[in-house]
Amino acid sequence: MTLFCPAYPKPHSEKASKLSLFWHARRSWLDALYERSYSMQMGEVHLPGVDLYMVNDSQEIKKVMHTEAQDFPKSHLMHESLEPLLGDSLFTTNGAQWQRQRTMMNPAFEQARLNVAFPRMLGAANAMLERLDALENDVAYDIEVEMSHVTADIIFRTIFSTPLQGADAHRVFDAFARYQALAPKLMLPALFGVRWLRLPWLKWQSNQAAKEIRTLLVEMVRPRYEAYARGEDQGPEDILTAFMRARDPQTGEPFSFEELINQVAMLFLAGHETSASALTWTCHLLAKSPDIQGRAFSQVQSLLGEREPEQPDMKNLPLLWNIFRESLRLFPPVGFFARESAQGCPIRGKQVKAGSTVVIAPWLLQRHRKWWQNPDAFDPDRFDREESKQAIKHTYMPFSMGPRVCLGAAFALQEAVLILACLLRRYELLPVEGHEPQPVGRLTIRSENGVRILLRKRISG
Asked whether 139 and 454 are in contact (CB, 8 A), the reply is: yes
The structural domains of the chain, with segments of one domain joined by +, span 18-457
Domain 18-457 is classified in which CATH homologous superfamily? Cytochrome P450 (1.10.630.10)
pTM > 0.85: yes or no? yes
Question: CA 13, 18, 20, 24: dihedral to nearest 10 degrees?
Answer: 90
How many Cβ atoms are within 10 Å of 59's Cβ, its own excluded? 11
φ, ψ (nearest 5 deg) of residue 439? -65, 135
Which ranges of 11-142 would DSSP assign to H, the alpha helix? Answer: 18-25, 58-62, 76-86, 95-105, 114-133
- pLDDT at site 461: 47
Residue 235 backbone zone (phi > 0: left; psi -120 to 50: alpha; other: beta): left
- pLDDT at site 232: 80
- pLDDT at site 119: 93
Q: Tell me the residue ranges of DSSP E strands in 391-443.
A: 427-431, 439-441
Local confidence pLDDT in tens for the 461 residues of the chain: 689 999 988 888 887 666 566 656 667 788 888 899 999 999 988 887 788 899 999 999 999 999 999 999 988 877 788 888 888 888 888 888 999 988 888 877 776 678 888 999 999 999 999 999 999 888 899 999 999 999 999 999 998 999 988 788 888 888 888 887 877 777 766 666 656 556 677 788 888 988 998 998 999 999 999 999 888 866 788 889 889 988 988 899 999 999 999 999 888 888 888 999 999 999 999 999 999 999 999 999 999 998 999 999 999 999 999 999 999 999 999 999 989 999 999 999 899 999 999 999 999 999 999 999 999 999 999 999 999 999 999 999 999 999 998 888 899 999 999 999 999 999 999 999 999 999 998 888 999 999 999 999 998 64
Q: How many residues does the chain have?
A: 461
